[in-house]
């Protein structure tokens, strides 16, 4: 079966794509949904003085607002109806995943199959509404407290802003689910991906403009291009890298026939945590500076000013804290999403075992041993990918969109999307082969 799938994958071409009508419908649906999302990022909130808001946003563009603006596809810079983006849903998903490891009732739901996953998804939606409401109210209060941004401040503005922003987030959550079900999959990831890619031309043009004005020299721009290509190559290599553990199954007898034992592999990704560690680390580090940015400098004590200046982009304390948090969240999130004990129990349940390792507790310890060492390399890879652009940003003033987190998201989602499309093409070719075999069988019976 595996060799047949590989042979089909190698034979995929444009002619096979042209015959896959179902896949083309899914692609068109995905493009249409993403177009709706992009249009929504240009519809501003009612009651906002956009000129005054743009001036205020520019003062905070290097803080956490800049990162949220990247994930929201520029909607924060324009204070659009999708300004909250899909981040409340992602945060709620992570919180619910964390709670499933702590609360036994949720852990049991996770093991109950499809019905349990539906209940957990419903809890995630409730958490999304709660987080989005809190964030939307904070944004509304912050906008109303800023001089000249809100044209008619008051309770009605607070209410309408909260309703609009929460509704925008829930619509994006629904849109992502529709892309996953009726499109080519990975709906939430594709929404974030489209937002980042849509702003990449602006970041590239800004870099070229710096070169035209002489702020960046030609060798520096060439170094940026070479570094970006190298980072993309590293991401592609590592995201596809796996540590495969050999799994064997014993011989089994069915009736009077003896079947030979089968072998398979347990794949452990080098970067199991994905893009979550740099996102969390960036959020925690940029949050104090952003909060302080809304406060007046004279209201801050001396020690707070010193810490905030040390946590600025390019400062040694910022770099060290960023790297340490990435490593911590890499191990933390890996432990959250992969449970060696459950994996060992599933292997034992299906009579599978790792050669030389006793099933059960010893297998769980061995998987944990290998996973820990694999995660060390994964965490080092994340630190390398995210720190190199940070040095470049602080040294040469490169736009924020060229950071390691944005490149990591873009390349990872691209790889996943290509894999999804290839999977649809393989399924289409399998269906064609099955139909042909049935037709031939029918002719022979006649």
Query: Cα(368)–Cα(391) distance, rounded to whole angstroms?
Result: 34
Q: For position 2, what pLDDT does the model report?
A: 41
377 in the same domain as 344: yes
Q: For position 299, what pLDDT does the model report?
A: 56
Confidence tier at 401 by pLDDT (50, 70, 90): low
220 in the same domain as 190: no
Residue 91 CA: distances (Å) to CA of 24, 86, 98, 128: 32, 9, 11, 8
Q: Which of 201, 233, 258 is the last residue of a domain?
A: 201
Strand 257-259 and strand 252-254: the pairing is antiparallel
Q: Please state, rounded to an integer, the average pLDDT across all residues of the chain.
A: 79
271 in the same domain as 192: no
224 in the same domain as 111: no
Q: For position 159, what pLDDT does the model report?
A: 92
Q: Which two tokens stand for residue 38?
A: 């992009």
98 in the same domain as 71: yes
Query: Cα(284)–Cα(288) distance, rounded to whole angstroms?
Result: 8
Q: Is position 325 within any domain?
A: yes
253 in the same domain as 310: yes
Q: Which of 174, 201, 228 is the last residue of a domain?
A: 201
Q: Is 228 exposed, middle or buried (0-12, 13-18, 19+ CB in 10 A)?
A: middle
282 in the same domain as 148: no
Query: Average of pLDDT values for 173-196?
Result: 88
Q: Is position 82 within any domain?
A: yes
Q: Which contacts of 309-312 are long-range, i.e. CB under 8 A and separated by 24 or more positions? A: 311/285
414 in the same domain as 270: yes
Confidence tier at 6 by pLDDT (50, 70, 90): very low
Q: For position 11, what pLDDT does the model report?
A: 47
Q: Count the domains in the chain.
A: 2
Q: How far apart are the first and last CA of the chain?
A: 30
Q: Of 341 and 311, which is predicted with more confidence?
A: 341
Tens digit of each residue's pLDDT (9 = 90 or more) over 243-293 = 888 888 877 665 666 656 678 888 888 888 888 888 778 767 766 655 555
> Do 167 and 160 meet the contact criterion of CB atoms below 8 Å apart?
no
Confidence tier at 8 by pLDDT (50, 70, 90): very low
Q: Is position 443 within any domain?
A: no
Q: Is position 2 within any domain?
A: no
Query: Cα(133)–Cα(139) distance, rounded to whole angstroms?
Result: 10
Query: Cα(3)–Cα(6) distance, rounded to whole angstroms?
Result: 5
Query: Cα(420)–Cα(316) distance, rounded to whole angstroms?
Result: 41
Query: Which pTM value belongs to this model?
Result: 0.77
Tens digit of each residue's pLDDT (9 = 90 or more) over 289-337 = 555 555 544 455 666 666 666 666 667 787 888 889 899 989 988 888 8
Tens digit of each residue's pLDDT (9 = 90 or more) over 86-124 = 888 888 887 887 788 778 887 788 777 778 788 888 889
Query: Average of pLDDT values for 184-197?
Result: 85
Phi, psi of 353 (to 5 degrees): -155, 155
Residue 73 scores a pLDDT above 50: yes
Q: Which of 134, 168, 201 is the last residue of a domain?
A: 201
Looking up tokens 């799938």 gives: 5
Query: Cα(285)–Cα(41) distance, rounded to whole angstroms?
Result: 26
Tens digit of each residue's pLDDT (9 = 90 or more) over 355-364 = 888 888 898 8
Q: For position 422, what pLDDT does the model report?
A: 80
Q: Is position 4 within any domain?
A: no
Query: Cα(227)–Cα(221) distance, rounded to whole angstroms?
Result: 10
Tens digit of each residue's pLDDT (9 = 90 or more) over 22-65 = 888 888 999 999 999 999 999 888 888 888 888 877 776 555 56
Least confident among 162-176, 196-210, 405-419: 196-210
175 in the same domain as 115: yes
CATH code for position 327: 1.10.3370.10
Q: For position 352, what pLDDT does the model report?
A: 82
267 in the same domain as 362: yes
Q: Which two tokens stand for residue 438?
A: 């049935």
190 in the same domain as 251: no
For residue 377, the enclosing domain spans: 216-295+303-437
Q: Is position 206 within any domain?
A: no
Q: Which two tokens stand for residue 137?
A: 């109210």
233 in the same domain as 188: no
Q: Which contacts of 293-297 are long-range, i.e. CB under 8 A and separated by 24 or more positions? A: 293/59, 293/60, 293/63, 294/60, 294/142
């Amino acid at each position: 079966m595996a060799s047949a799938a590989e042979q089909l994958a190698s034979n995929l071409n444009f002619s096979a794509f042209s015959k896959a009508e179902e896949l083309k419908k899914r692609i068109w649906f995905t493009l249409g949904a993403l177009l709706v999302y992009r249009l929504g990022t240009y519809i501003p909130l009612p009651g906002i003085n956009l000129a005054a808001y743009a001036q205020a946003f520019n003062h905070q563009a290097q803080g956490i607002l800049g990162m949220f603006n990247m994930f929201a596809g520029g909607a924060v810079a324009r204070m659009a109806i999708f300004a909250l983006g899909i981040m409340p849903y992602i945060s709620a998903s992570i919180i619910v995943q964390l709670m499933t490891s702590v609360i036994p009732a949720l852990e049991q739901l996770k093991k109950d199959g499809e019905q349990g996953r539906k209940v957990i998804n419903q809890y995630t939606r409730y958490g999304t509404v709660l987080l989005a409401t809190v964030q939307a109210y904070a944004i509304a209060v912050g906008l109303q407290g800023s001089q000249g941004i809100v044209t008619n401040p008051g309770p009605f503005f607070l209410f309408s802003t909260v309703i609009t922003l929460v509704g925008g987030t829930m619509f994006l959550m629904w849109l992502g689910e529709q892309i996953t079900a009726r499109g080519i999959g990975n709906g939430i990831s594709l929404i974030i991906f489209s937002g980042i890619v849509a702003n990449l031309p602006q970041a590239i043009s800004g870099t070229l403009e710096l070169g035209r004005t002489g702020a960046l020299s030609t060798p520096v721009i060439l170094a940026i291009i070479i570094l970006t290509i190298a980072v993309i190559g590293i991401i592609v290599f590592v995201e596809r890298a796996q540590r495969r553990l050999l799994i064997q199954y014993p011989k089994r007898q069915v009736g009077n026939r003896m079947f030979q034992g089968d072998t398979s592999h347990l794949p452990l990704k080098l970067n199991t945590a994905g893009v979550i560690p740099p996102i969390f680390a960036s959020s925690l580090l940029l949050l104090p500076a952003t909060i302080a940015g809304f406060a007046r400098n004279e209201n801050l004590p001396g020690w707070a000013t010193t810490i905030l200046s040390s946590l600025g982009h390019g400062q040694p304390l910022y770099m060290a804290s960023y790297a340490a948090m990435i490593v911590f969240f890499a191990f933390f999130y890996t432990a959250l999403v992969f449970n060696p004990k459950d994996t060992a129990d599933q292997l034992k349940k299906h009579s599978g075992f790792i050669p030389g390792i006793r099933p059960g507790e010893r297998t769980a310890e061995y998987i944990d041993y290998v996973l820990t060492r694999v995660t060390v390399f994964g965490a080092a890879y994340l630190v390398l990918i995210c720190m190199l652009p940070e040095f470049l940003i602080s040294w040469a003033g490169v736009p924020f969109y060229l950071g390691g987190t944005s490149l990591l998201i873009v390349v990872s989602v691209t790889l996943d999307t290509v894999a999804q499309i290839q999977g649809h093409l393989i399924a289409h070719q399998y269906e064609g082969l099955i139909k042909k075999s049935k037709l031939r069988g029918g002719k022979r019976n006649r």
